[in-house]
């Protein structure tokens, strides 16, 4: 197999085909005249955050303004029909984690996606059964009453106006729409919005108007989240479900609760790293991978050996993810995965020039005795008072379930695919799972979302998060290592070549820019290589060497849109 050989494994390519998660990062502005700053993947969302500041809002206001705007202009990634993880470092030093992850409906059951004894991924990725109860609206409404300066109405009405007036589709949106058009055609309500009268995807630059979504945003502005969970929206969703073979009821919406959880806290050299706890696997495994990497002098290693070591650390963490991780309210998730001694044991398995073979999950200390508890906490934002906030929000794969609830303009998630629909059956990102992440009523599926905040002493110095399914975890690790260990400027840390390993399939996925010499070394050491040209996206903020705050959005997305003259 040549160094440019590509795996013909559908799952590993599908892995990154959906930039399904969105990281919103906000930070205190160094300019005395400004209230704060915001970085997102879309200029209209960034502008919405800036306008919230201009109205007297703080970072919470700006974050939610950006998020609801993304629901309008970036609907393939996120929206009102999805879920969110929110991580905050408040000015008083308190770190909070709010879990607005989707929940399985009360009628969900372990074998709901099994047909003729085999897990059917088409049922978990498209249509009525793939949808979980959305959590984003509940969390945003809550946040607007906890430390914000503006009202939910102040935030929602500008987004409603944008949906009414429309916006030009950028290259990324047009590409995702084109790739999803065949599936969208099967769902008339969604096709009526996103496809032309001939059933073709709207092209680059098309002015997309979403009248029904505007009406939903206005209703939320007037009635709050009760409209979504106890009012007209919940009733419309329940009617559609009953008519289309779904199992979600109006009561499922009424019973939804966001959860406040204790953040994952770990150390990496002289930094303290806060991540999101289960049902996110991101916080646990970002910390676990960093714990393993602490045992290697990454800065001194040649590039190929550094990639080798990082891939082997990723591989072992993802093997543990498949076995141990799930919703901590339903399955015991061992805190021992964060144990430094356990990481040292895993690090000792890694040789500098030899691939680990036959890897399976490890046995962290006190695996059944010391587990993540059933807690509640979650949020994200940052302003001149010293609050730092990160929100990762999603509808899962591109355009979620493809279902739009009639008359609402809201595209629903397909988050049920993040459960292990059957042992040994990979989800749409190629990830495997066990009983810990099996389908159960009112359970939250495992996620890779990894909003992260880094402290040095008592001062926040970096926040980072990413999009791209299972790649989110490794993107965050790469950004942290490049910035904190290798000392790269933040833009360079995000622009550097990316690698990914998720245990199964047993291959290192490499960006095209990785040099041939590095590829040859990795192959010589036993690695199977796979190329992929379209990676996820990372957003980050860090304090530079002069003490200034620098925010960077994914360099690759900037390049892709600049190729068409869009900004």
Backbone dihedral region of 116: left (phi > 0), alpha (psi from -120 to 50 degrees) or beta? left
Number of residues written out for the chain = 567
> CA-to-CA distance for 411 and 183, rounded, in angstroms?
13
- With vertex at residue 217, the alpha carbon angle to CA 212 and CA 219, rounded to the nearest 5 degrees, is 95
Give the residue among 242, 254, 317 at the shortest CA–CA distance from 281: 317
For 94, residues 6+ apart whose C-beta sits below 8 A from its C-beta are none
Tokens matching residue 60: 């919470």
Q: Has residue 410 got a pLDDT over 70?
A: yes
> CA-to-CA distance for 15 and 95, rounded, in angstroms?
31
Burial class (CB in 10 A: 0-12, 13-18, 19+), 213: buried
Q: Has residue 13 got a pLDDT over 50?
A: no
Q: For residue 169, count other CB atoms closer than 10 A to its CB.
A: 22
pTM: 0.88
Give the residue among 465, 462, 443 at the shortest CA–CA distance from 453: 462
Give tens-digit pLDDT for 523-563: 999 999 998 776 778 888 888 888 877 888 888 876 655 55
Q: Which of 50-54, 84-88, 532-536 has the lowest mean pLDDT?
A: 532-536
Q: Has residue 98 got a pLDDT over 80?
A: yes
Q: For residue 519, count other CB atoms closer than 10 A to its CB.
A: 21
Q: Has residue 1 got a pLDDT over 50?
A: no
> CA-to-CA distance for 264 and 333, rounded, in angstroms?
12
**Which of 376, 408, 538, 564 is an active site residue?**
376
Q: For residue 305, count other CB atoms closer than 10 A to its CB.
A: 18
472 close to 448: Cβ distance less than 8 angstroms: yes
Place 438 in a pLDDT band, splitting at 50, 70 and 90: confident
- Write out the H or E segment, with its range, that includes residue 125: helix 121-125
What domains sit in the chain, N to C, each tagged with a CATH number? 267-376+461-562 (1.10.246.130)
Burial class (CB in 10 A: 0-12, 13-18, 19+), 512: exposed
> CA-to-CA distance for 305 and 353, rounded, in angstroms?
7
Identify the three-state secondary structure at position 425: coil
pLDDT on residue 370: 43
224 close to 238: Cβ distance less than 8 angstroms: no
User: Could you identify the residue written with the tokens 């199992």?
Assistant: 247
Q: Has residue 435 got a pLDDT over 80?
A: no
pLDDT on residue 423: 63
> CA-to-CA distance for 291 and 271, rounded, in angstroms?
12
> CA-to-CA distance for 138 and 136, rounded, in angstroms?
6
> CA-to-CA distance for 554 and 493, rounded, in angstroms?
10
Bond into 279 cis (ω within 30): yes
> CA-to-CA distance for 522 and 507, rounded, in angstroms?
11
Q: Has residue 223 got a pLDDT over 50?
A: yes
Place 361 in a pLDDT band, splitting at 50, 70 and 90: low
Give tens-digit pLDDT for 160-218: 999 999 999 999 899 999 999 999 999 999 999 999 999 999 999 999 999 999 999 99
| Percent of the chain surpassing pLDDT 90 | 62
pLDDT on residue 26: 47
The H-assigned helical ranges of 169-279 are: 171-184, 188-194, 211-223, 226-229, 232-243, 250-255
Give the residue among 444, 467, 391, 411 at the shortest CA–CA distance from 79: 411
Q: Cα 340 vs. chain centroid, distance in angstroms?
A: 26
Q: Has residue 325 got a pLDDT over 50?
A: yes
Q: What are the beta bridge partners of residue 97?
A: 87, 261
- Could you tell me where the beta strands, DSSP code E, fall in 237-387? 259-261, 264-268, 271-275
Place 513 in a pLDDT band, splitting at 50, 70 and 90: very high
The Cα-based distances of 162 to 44, 136, 202, 211 in angstroms read 9, 20, 18, 10
pLDDT on residue 379: 27
376 is catalytic: yes
């Amino acid at each position: 197999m040549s160094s440019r050989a590509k795996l013909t494994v559908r799952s590993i390519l599908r892995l990154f085909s959906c930039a399904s998660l969105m990281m919103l990062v906000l930070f205190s502005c160094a300019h005395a005249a400004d209230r704060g700053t915001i970085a997102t993947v879309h200029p209209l969302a960034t502008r919405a955050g800036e306008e919230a500041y201009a109205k007297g809002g703080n970072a919470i206001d700006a974050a939610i303004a950006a998020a609801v705007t993304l629901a309008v202009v970036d609907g393939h990634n996120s929206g009102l029909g999805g879920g969110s993880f929110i991580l905050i470092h408040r000015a008083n030093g308190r770190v909070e984690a709010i879990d607005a992850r989707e929940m399985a409906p009360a009628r969900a059951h372990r074998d709901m996606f099994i047909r003729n004894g085999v897990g059917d991924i088409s049922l978990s990725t498209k249509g009525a059964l793939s949808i979980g109860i959305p959590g984003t609206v509940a969390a945003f409404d809550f946040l607007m009453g906890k430390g914000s300066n503006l009202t939910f109405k102040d935030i929602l009405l500008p987004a409603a106006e944008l949906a009414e007036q429309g916006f030009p589709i950028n290259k990324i949106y047009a590409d995702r729409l084109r790739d999803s058009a065949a599936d969208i055609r099967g769902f008339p309500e969604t096709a009526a919005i996103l496809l032309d009268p001939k059933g073709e995807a709207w092209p680059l630059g098309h002015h997309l108007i979403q009248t029904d979504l505007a009406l939903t945003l206005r209703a939320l502005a007037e009635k709050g989240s009760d409209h979504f969970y106890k009012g007209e929206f919940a009733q419309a969703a329940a009617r559609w479900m009953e008519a289309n073979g779904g199992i979600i009821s109006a009561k499922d919406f009424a019973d939804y609760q966001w959860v406040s959880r204790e953040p994952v806290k770990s150390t990496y050299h002289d930094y303290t790293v806060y991540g999101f706890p289960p049902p996110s696997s991101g916080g646990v495994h970002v910390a676990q991978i960093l714990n393993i990497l602490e045992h290697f002098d990454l800065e001194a290693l040649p590039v190929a050996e550094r990639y080798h070591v990082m891939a082997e650390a990723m591989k072992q963490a993802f093997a543990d993810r498949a076995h141990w991780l799930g919703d901590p309210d339903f399955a015991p998730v061992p805190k021992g995965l964060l144990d430094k001694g356990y990481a040292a044991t895993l690090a000792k398995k890694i040789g500098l020039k030899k691939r680990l073979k036959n890897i399976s999950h490890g046995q962290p200390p006190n695996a059944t005795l010391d587990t993540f508890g059933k807690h509640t906490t979650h949020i994200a934002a940052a302003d001149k008072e010293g609050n730092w906030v990160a929100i990762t929000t999603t509808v899962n794969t591109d355009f979620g379930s493809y279902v739009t609830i009639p008359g609402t303009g809201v595209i629903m998630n397909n988050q049920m695919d993040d459960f292990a629909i059957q042992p040994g059956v990979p989800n749409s990102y190629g990830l495997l799972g066990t009983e810990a992440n099996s389908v159960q009523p009112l359970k939250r599926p495992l996620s890779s979302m990894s909003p992260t905040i880094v402290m040095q002493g008592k001062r926040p110095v970096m926040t980072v998060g990413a999009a791209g399914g299972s790649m989110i975890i490794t993107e965050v690790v790469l950004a942290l290592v490049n910035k904190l260990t290798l000392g790269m400027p933040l833009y360079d840390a995000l622009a550097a070549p990316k690698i990914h390993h998720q245990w199964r399939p047993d291959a290192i996925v490499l960006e095209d820019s990785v040099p041939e010499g590095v590829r040859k070394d990795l192959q010589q050491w036993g690695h199977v290589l796979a190329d992929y040209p379209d990676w996820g996206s990372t957003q980050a903020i860090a304090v530079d060497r002069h003490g200034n705050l620098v925010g960077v959005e994914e360099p690759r997305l900037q390049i892709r849109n600049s190729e068409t003259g869009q900004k």
